Structure 1
Amino acid sequence: MATAQIDRPAAALREFTTRGYAVVRGLFTADDVDVMNDHFAEIHRTGANGRYTHMSMEEAGNDPLLAYPRIMNPHRYSSIARDYLRDPRAAEVLRALFGEEPLGVQSMLYFKPPGARGQAMHQDQFYLQVRPGTCIAAWTALDRVDRANGGMIMVPLTHELAIDCRKAGKEGAGSYGPNAIPVPVPEGYRGEAPELDPGDTIFFNGSLLHGSGRNVTTDRWRRSFICHYVGVGCETISEAYHPLVDMSGQDVVRAKTTDGGPCGGWVGAAH
């Protein structure tokens, strides 16, 4: 077991560098998964003192995501979410991938109940606008995940491509809403859907094209906890991702990105 723990960051780095993403099996334990699922269910139930709202199932009609919308940035008010954002097991892998100390910039919990739509294909760096470098996401399964319940679709090698700017500033520029404009998968590339057990984590490059399909099951959820990170050398990042958080749990200040680089006046957004 000790050898596996020592080798895990190196193995992840090899896969991440070659393909743009890496799957780390069993990064979190079954107990961790239970803690997260129970905690986020409590936020859904209580509303976290007005920080989270949702419709009833009756009000939501045929859109289950109105009754179970994602929880955005719980690390800003929840010590449990903040602790998992900066968890030493994830930080160990991130240090290998960045080659420097990581900083957390976003956390999200997706419930994705049966019938929920997928997320449009997108690149995270389009929204975060990190300079220099890019961001890395850590996507942790809190349920068994496969294509049927809307698992992630990753397009390997697209981390080597430029950021697609065609939807910058347009209605539907986001990736989450029902009118989101998907970034097309370029010719010659093919998506793949890794199957995950609870506690498995996908680490992926901010330029990698990814999304998810609809949860077509009638009785399976696809809960997941997602965090985004940048390297400590980050100088600017889109306004929606401030303040940043170091791995000791302290807030960190960086400048806000004021130009979209190849995307012109687009300066990023929450996604």
Structure 2
Amino acid sequence: MTQTIADIYRRDGIVQVPQLLDAAEVEQLRTVFMDQVAEDHSLAIDDGVPDDDPLARFPRFVHPHRRTDVAAGRIALELMLDSRILDVVTVLIGPALGAQSMFYFKPPGARGQALHQDNTFLRADPETCLAAWIAVDDVDAENGGLAVVPGSHQTELACPEPADLTESFTNAEVPVPDGLTKVQTKMRAGDVLFFHGSVVHGSRPNTSVDRFRRALIFHYIPEDSTEIAAFYNPLVRPDRRTAVLPEAIGGGPCGDYADAEP
């Protein structure tokens, strides 16, 4: 019997959909975001990295979909609401609202991001968030592709521990839950990885010589959610209208771990 994406998601909390974007669309994403980061860092969030860090030149962009005055913002909003992505989102969590967009450049030499769970930041309730992680380059262990822990969506949000700052640009990580195993993903540009907000995931540094690991990431929450961290308001409906939910305690662009205990 062939498993559906919903079956796989229920079992693992993770499902990879191959080649949801075609080669021309991926190339357009690369060009638009590389042009934007070369022009200015107005879409970036300050992660406090030193000036000689590769991420200082290529900082992550957060909420580009809110900046429709620039091409990167327009393309982010278009893809956030693209039916190919929303159709999968709807199968997995039902009618949904767009909560966040992010673009990671991760150039050669860049640190990774320690293991974490997304809903620690978003604080969606009563259910959780769903990530759609779009590979803009071929990704594997060498250039810092995601590692995920299948089945960890059935665990609670975990209390973080200090991260190794030689490996991660973020300073906290969660442990792999007992009895579960971390798995390295391998993706082709245009593949999309969908995963549950409690899935433990992260990445190691990009140790390649000349390979970026660019990714466009969206987060969605169920339409009937009752609250979310303030940083993610306003949300976006599929028809582009906005929605505002009551503010949850904790969460934010970097996650307030002291306030985000479940």
- Determine if the TM-score, normalized by the shorter chain, exceeds 0.5: yes
Pick one of 248, 251, 260 that aligns with 1:268.
251
Which string of whole-angstrom CA distances, capped at 9 and with x for unpartnered residues, describes residues 121-165 of structure 1? Answer: 000111111111000000010001001100000001010001113
Pick one of 207, 219, 234 that aligns with 2:210.
219
Distance 1:222 1:203, change over 3 A: same
Pick one of 100, 103, 107 that aligns with 1:106.
100
Pick one of 102, 111, 125 that aligns with 2:119.
125
Pick one of 55, 71, 89 that aligns with 1:65.
55
What is the letter of the counterpart of residue 19 of structure 1? D
**Which is strand-richer, 1 or 2?**
2
Q: CA–CA distance in 2 between the matches of 1:117 and 1:52?
A: 17
Q: Is the 8 Å Cα contact of residues 137 and 229 (structure 1) preserved in structure 2?
A: yes
- Tell me how large the CA RMSD over aligned residues is: 2.1
Could you say what secondary structure the match of 1:139 adopts?
A: strand
Q: CA–CA distance in 2 between the matches of 1:114 and 1:73?
A: 24
* 1:21 matched residue in structure 2: 14
Please tell me whether residue 147 in structure 1 is matched to residue 141 in structure 2.
Answer: yes
Distance 1:105 1:53, change over 3 A: closer
* 1:264 matched residue in structure 2: none
In percent, how many aligned pairs have the same letter? 36
Could you say what secondary structure the match of 1:127 adopts?
A: helix
Aligned residue-pair number:
242
Pick one of 163, 176, 182 that aligns with 1:191.
182
Distance 1:53 1:102, change over 3 A: closer
With the length of structure 2 as denominator, give the TM-score of the two structures. Answer: 0.87
Distance 1:177 1:195, change over 3 A: closer
Q: Is the 8 Å Cα contact of residues 20 and 156 (structure 1) preserved in structure 2?
A: yes
Please tell me whether residue 256 in structure 1 is matched to residue 247 in structure 2.
Answer: yes
Q: CA–CA distance in 1 between the matches of 2:45 and 2:181?
A: 37
Which stretch of the first structure deviates more once superposed, 115-124 or 157-166? 157-166
Give 5+ residue unaligned stretches, structure 1: 1-6, 259-266
Q: CA–CA distance in 2 between the matches of 1:42 and 1:179?
A: 26
Q: Is the 8 Å Cα contact of residues 231 and 253 (structure 2) preserved in structure 1?
A: yes
| 1:113 to partner: Cα distance | 0.4
* 2:89 matched residue in structure 1: 94
Q: Is the 8 Å Cα contact of residues 114 and 170 (structure 2) preserved in structure 1?
A: no
Q: CA–CA distance in 1 between the matches of 2:149 and 2:247?
A: 29
Q: Is the 8 Å Cα contact of residues 160 and 172 (structure 2) preserved in structure 1?
A: no
With the length of structure 1 as denominator, give the TM-score of the two structures. Answer: 0.84
What is the letter of the counterpart of residue 65 of structure 1? L
Q: CA–CA distance in 1 between the matches of 2:193 and 2:169?
A: 25
**Which is helix-richer, 1 or 2?**
1
Q: CA–CA distance in 2 between the matches of 1:51 and 1:184?
A: 31
Please tell me whether residue 156 in structure 1 is matched to residue 147 in structure 2.
Answer: no
Q: Is the 8 Å Cα contact of residues 168 and 204 (structure 2) preserved in structure 1?
A: no
Could you say what secondary structure the match of 1:60 adopts?
A: coil
What is the letter of the counterpart of residue 71 of structure 1? F
* 2:260 matched residue in structure 1: none
Pick one of 23, 33, 42 that aligns with 1:30.
23
Could you say what secondary structure the match of 1:115 adopts?
A: coil
